[in-house]
Amino acid sequence: MEEKHVKLKDGSDVLIRPMRQDDLDRSLKFFAALPREDRAFLRVDVTKRSLVEERMFDIETGSVRRIVAILEDEIIADGALELAGHGWKEHAAELRLIVARNQQRKGLGMLMARELYAEANAEHVEELVVKMMRPQNAAHSIFKRLGFRNQTVLPEYVKDREGKLQDMILGRCNLKVLWDELEDYFAEFDYPRKR
């Protein structure tokens, strides 16, 4: 993906671009600043430098496409497209997205998702999945708006960062259907769609 400057609903000029190796400290700062209740539901403790370094390695291997939104040289959103690779899931990828609380409700999540959808399309992904814990109400709402439908619930399947068992909800959407549904939304931003 190419770097893109976008305007949010509040007029902020934000840069959306691929994550780079020199983003390590910015990434640590972004995740450390998230409220504890938001971090509780992340898959790994991304306040640990070694785990963020592993995420950087995934970028180099090509198994993950990771993007960030930058405002005043700080990361304000982080998104990832985790490619399934080969075999029976090669048509699918997992999407992950988190936006800083003070940047929510400005259209940034949708714009980040748009870039991840474009990456998925370029990789010939047909199906996107998201995995969430039941208490993640904001995530449920965002992903529903992004076209995901809850597919299944696995009761007490995962543990949050505090060790409490939580239900895992698997959502999925068809990428072609999603493109069509979101065309009008992105036209609002005068944000050209590239396939």
Per-residue pLDDT reduced to its tens digit, 92-141:
999 999 999 999 999 998 899 889 998 998 898 999 999 999 998 878 88
Distances in Å between the alpha carbon of 59 and those of 15, 125, 172?
19, 18, 23
The H or E element that residue 119 is part of is helix 108-122
d(CA 132, CA 148): 12
Convert the pLDDT of each residue in 71-84 to its tens digit: 999 999 999 999 97
Instruction: Provide the pLDDT for residue 151.
Output: 83
- Spacing of C-alpha 44 from chain mean position: 15
Helices 24-33 and 49-61: crossing angle in degrees, nearest 10, is 130
Counting residues of the chain whose pLDDT is more than 70, the rounded percentage is 91
Question: Which domains are seen in the chain, by residue range?
Answer: 4-188 (3.40.630.30)
Instruction: Provide the pLDDT for residue 147.
Output: 82
* β-sheet with 149-159: strand ranges across: 4-7, 13-18, 64-71, 74-83, 92-99, 127-133, 165-174, 149-159
- 81: amino acid identity, one letter: L
Convert the pLDDT of each residue in 6-32 to its tens digit: 999 999 999 999 999 999 999 999 999
Instruction: Provide the pLDDT for residue 189.
Output: 53
Q: Grade residue 44 by pLDDT with cuts at 50, 70 and 90.
A: confident
Q: Are 112 and 101 in contact (CB under 8 A)?
A: no
DSSP letters of 65-111?
EEEEEEETTEEEEEEEEEE--SSTTTTEEEEEEEE-GGGTTSSHHHH
